[in-house]
Amino acid sequence: MQENLRELLLGGQSFSWKDEGDGVFSAVLNEKIYRIKSIEEAASDPFLYDYFDLGYDYASAREAIASKDSILREAVESVGAIRLLHQDHWIATISFILSQNNNIKRITGLYNRLSERYGHEVGEGRYSFPTADELSGASESDLRELGVGFRAPFILDAVGKAPLLDTLDTLSFEDAMDKLQTIKGIGPKVASCILIFSYQRREGFPMDVWMKKVMKEYYPDKTPQYFHPYEALSQQYLFSWIRNRDS
């Protein structure tokens, strides 16, 4: 099954990537500008190998998910091959704080404005996403001027609690969820997204408006445990499927 690079990079897991046209996607990550046209190109780069989680057997996971029921089979066949990105803890945390009550286009715009204002130029007019130190000089009004709105105090609280993000790897999923939610403005959905897309916690199952629709229509008597041991990847397939079908 062919990798759906567009859905993987622009479908709501990450807001770092830009479509340059002709099948090329680029992002500023790890102090570099990366450009790729296929997942295969990432295999020779250690950073991208880890970022794209290339050591995990997604083919077997997809097969197991598709065989679970007809809805999941349709989702997998419709969406194609996707995976769960392994992003930087800080970038994922602020990205998903920005995602609250927001859409992908607007989140990406806010991500880029934060990068241009508070990050540093890596080359070719492209900017890194600002670190906690780089954002520490921003005020709430500064952030609101960029358009982040009610999320401004949440970002500032995350700046002050950034060291917390390095303490989650060894915690249970439940304890990590609880600890993330001590950051102002982070609730269960955002915490679950952060744990999936930065800490590789595959048991996460974030519930946004799209997933609430899926669960109500197709799985009214099911809990996330139904999708075990592929909760996070199943969720991502269902999310991508219903969003692309109905938006």
Q: Could you tell me the CA-to-CA distances from 9 to 12, 16, 19, 21, 150 in Å, in that order?
A: 7, 8, 9, 14, 26
| Spatial separation of the C-alpha atoms in residues 40 and 52, rounded to whole Å | 10
**Cα 223 versus chain centre, distance:** 22
81 contacts 1 by C-beta, under 8 angstroms: yes
Do residues 204 and 231 touch, judged by C-beta distance below 8 A?
yes
The answer to whether residues 242 and 214 touch, using CB atoms and an 8 Å cutoff, is: yes
Task: Specify the pairing of strand 17-21 against strand 32-36.
Answer: unpaired
Please give the helix or strand (H or E) that residue 53 lies within, else none.
none
Task: Give the active site residue among 32, 68, 189, 212.
Answer: 189
For residue 58, the tally of other CB atoms under 10 A from its CB is: 19
Active site residue 189: yes
| CA–CA separation, 41 and 45 (whole Å) | 8
- Dig out the tokens for 184 from the structure: 């102002």
Quick check: 87 and 197 in contact, CB under 8 A? yes
Residue 38: CB partners within 8 Å, gap ≥ 6? 3, 5
Residues with a known catalytic role = 189
